[in-house]
Amino acid sequence: MNKRLLNISGPLQRILPFLRGRVPLDQEQVRRVLIVGSGSIPHIRKVIGAVHTRFPKARLVLMIWHSNQHLFYSNTGLDETIAYQGLHQAL
């Protein structure tokens, strides 16, 4: 486990079990999902597909840094898609 995660407190600590999938969620009630990460285009597409399958009514907001240092914009057909170029530097 990342040592940084052990030292968190406040709101993030309260929602961490949800983020790790340990607490069941009503999938129909989830309206927005933030996807943060990096990787190859096939990997990112798999993640988007899995999240969209699990939360079919949610709008996906993406903060993605593509592995070859180009922005990745997903055409998910959903309302809101955002790519953030400097994500890897902020982590």
What per-residue confidence (pLDDT) applies to 90? Answer: 35
What per-residue confidence (pLDDT) applies to 31? Answer: 72
Q: How many domains does the chain have?
A: 1
Task: Decide if 43 is inside a domain.
Answer: yes
**Which regions in the chain score pLDDT beneath 50?**
1-6, 69-91
Query: Token digits for 78?
Result: 């959903």
pLDDT tens digits, one per residue of 10-24: 555 555 655 565 555
Task: Give the C-alpha distances (Å, rounded to integers) separating 91 from 9, 52, 60, 65.
Answer: 18, 25, 20, 11
- The DSSP annotation for 42-56 comes to HHHHHHHHHHHHHST
Task: Decide if 1 is inside a domain.
Answer: no
Task: Give the C-alpha distances (Å, rounded to integers) separating 18 from 4, 25, 60.
Answer: 18, 8, 17
Task: Decide if 84 is inside a domain.
Answer: yes
Task: Decide if 79 is inside a domain.
Answer: yes
Q: Report the alpha-carbon distance of residue 81 to residue 30 in Å, rounded.
A: 16
- The whole domain housing 62 covers 26-90
Helix (H/G/I), strand (E/B), else coil: 14? helix
Percent of the chain with pLDDT over 90: 0
